Structure 1
Amino acid sequence: MPAVDRRKQVLDAASKSFALFGYKATTMEQVAKIANVGKGTIYTFFTNKDELFDEILLSAIMEMKRLAEREIRKDRDFFDNLYRVLDALLEFRSEHELFIKLSQEVRDIGTPKAHEGLTKVENGIVGYLKGIVENAISIGEIKPLDAQVVSFVMLKLYVALTTDFNQLHKPLSKEQIKEYMMVFLADGLKASS
């Protein structure tokens, strides 16, 4: 019979607890109970709740990067790949229970650690996009601009069109979002032929 991976058991339980209760309401006691281990077992792997939370976030960010990498197609242009990656990442983020709960927690009570967690996720996305942008710049597909700024603006624009806009207006279709992204970004970023 295979040995039980206690660390994985603790991580799975912590992920569930953070997704159900948020950062602030999650306790090490809850995690231990969900994992069916003693509280001391958690402390053999993680010094405190912050360290455990950071490990959960890192795992989610790595999962997002793997998801994004599956969306990149060498035979597609920069903008097509950009839409595919942004769409996949934001769909993942909007469906992932942890991110939903953290967003609610930030909105409702403004927990600094939950805000910090969401910021880490956003920075992970921007960092990934930066690599895509730098590659597109290096092959002359887009203008040579600051890749960090371009990546940040692309993410914020996409979030604005897919999420923020929907709070005040009828949601845009994926085709409309793609069209607006082209108008706002491609016409200004596309390298001249």
Structure 2
Amino acid sequence: MAIDRRNHIVEAARQSFAFFGYKATTVDQVAKQANVGKGTIYNFFKNKEELFQEIVSQLLIEMKEKAEAAMEDGRTYKENLHLALYELLEYRMKHQFTIKMLQEAREMGTPAVKEALTELEQATIQYITSKINEAVEHGEMVVSKPEVTAFVVVKLYISLIFDWEERHEPLNKEEIMKIFDEHVFKGLSPE
């Protein structure tokens, strides 16, 4: 019962943060949305910041699950790396909570939101680093600094998916994979 109530509060908070943003969301709003007393929220969370961090932690788990589900048996590590990264970034950009966070960080520079976005990016880079390490172990890539390579790959993906679309037609998954294959992965291949 307590777990259900806690989950209900977290979902209400997620909706509130997604709609109003971090700064404008109050514990009172979350309590009304969750149909619980304000004290009930404090039974589970110290403050708004802790509640916000819980949502970010859940989002990180969801993103990893989406990335893992995007990978397919029988594909190369490079192909699966592409599928996982594309899914991570797509999920992040379609999720109402992260859209609002990006907007608030850009417009208001809210420190808690900027920290959360940094945490999401770092988790993405760490995840991609682990996939690059797997590719290296299986002889599909030659990389001296996997974390630096992951950083470059993530930033390039972000640029191709989001920045490119500001002035050009969006690229589909296959086009992005071809660009990566031509400009990045051929340089990382052992041949």
| TM-score, normalising length: structure 1 | 0.93
- The one-letter amino acid paired with 1:157 is L
Cα distance in 2, alignment partners of residues 36 and 78 from structure 1: 47
Following the alignment from structure 2 to structure 1, what is the Cα–Cα distance between the partners of residues 2 and 156? Answer: 48
Per-residue CA deviations over 1:135-191 (Å, capped at 9, x if unaligned) read 111111100321111111111111101111111333233332222111221111111
Structure 2 SS opposite 1:55: helix
Shift of 1:105: 0.7
The separation in 2 between residues aligned to 1:138 and 1:180, in whole angstroms, is 24
**Root mean square deviation of aligned Cα:** 1.5
CA 1:65–1:173: 2 relative to 1, 3 Å: closer
Structure 1 residue aligned with 2:8: 9
Q: Which amino acid in the other structure matches residue 190 of structure 1?
A: S
Name the aligned partner's letter for residue 69 of structure 1.
E
1:146 corresponding residue in structure 2: 145
> Matches of 2:3 and 2:145 in 1, distance apart?
48
- Contact 2:143-2:149 at 8 Å conserved across structures: no
Q: 1:4 to 1:128 in 2, by over 3 A?
A: closer
C-alpha distance in structure 2 between counterparts of 1:24 and 1:184, whole Å: 41
Distance change >3 Å, CA 4–CA 144, structure 1 → 2: closer
Distance in 2 separating the partners of 1:15 and 1:69: 23
Identity among equivalent positions (%) equals 44
Matches of 1:125 and 1:94, distance apart in 2: 13
Q: 1:99 to 1:4 in 2, by over 3 A?
A: closer
Structure 2: state its 5+ residue gaps.
Answer: none
1:3 shift after superposition:
7.3
Is this contact kept in 1: 2:78–2:140, CA < 8 A?
no
SS in 2 for 1:29: helix
Equivalent residues in 2 for 1:64-143 (5 A)? 64-143=63-142
Count of matched residue positions in the alignment of Structure 1 and Structure 2 = 191
Residues 5 and 90 of structure 1: CA distance in aligned 2, closer, same or farther (over 3 Å): same
For residues 15-43 of structure 1, what are the alpha-carbon distances to aligned partners after superposition, in whole Å with 9 as ceiling and x for unaligned?
Answer: 11111111111111111110111111111
Given that residues 14 and 55 in structure 2 are in contact (C-alpha distance below 8 angstroms), is that contact kept between their aligned partners in structure 1? yes
* Structure 2 residue matching 1:5: 3-state secondary structure: helix
Runs of 4+ in 1 over 6 A off after TM superposition: none
Unaligned runs of 5+ residues in structure 1 are none
Q: Which amino acid aligns with 1:80?
A: E
- CA deviation profile, 1:105-131 (whole Å, cap 9, x unmatched): 111111111111111111111111111
- What one-letter code is carried by the residue in structure 2 that aligns with 1:141? E
SS in 2 for 1:93: helix
Deviation at 1:4, TM superposition (A): 7.5
Query: Residues 3 and 189 of structure 1: is their aligned pair in 2 closer, same or farther, counting only changes over 3 Å?
Result: closer
CA distance in 2, matches of 1:4, 1:79: 40
Deviation at 1:73, TM superposition (A): 2.4
Which AA in structure 2 matches 1:128? Y
1:94 Cα deviation (Å)? Answer: 1.2
Name the CA distance, whole Å, in 2 between partners of 1:57 and 1:28: 17
- Greater displacement, 35-44 / 85-94: 85-94
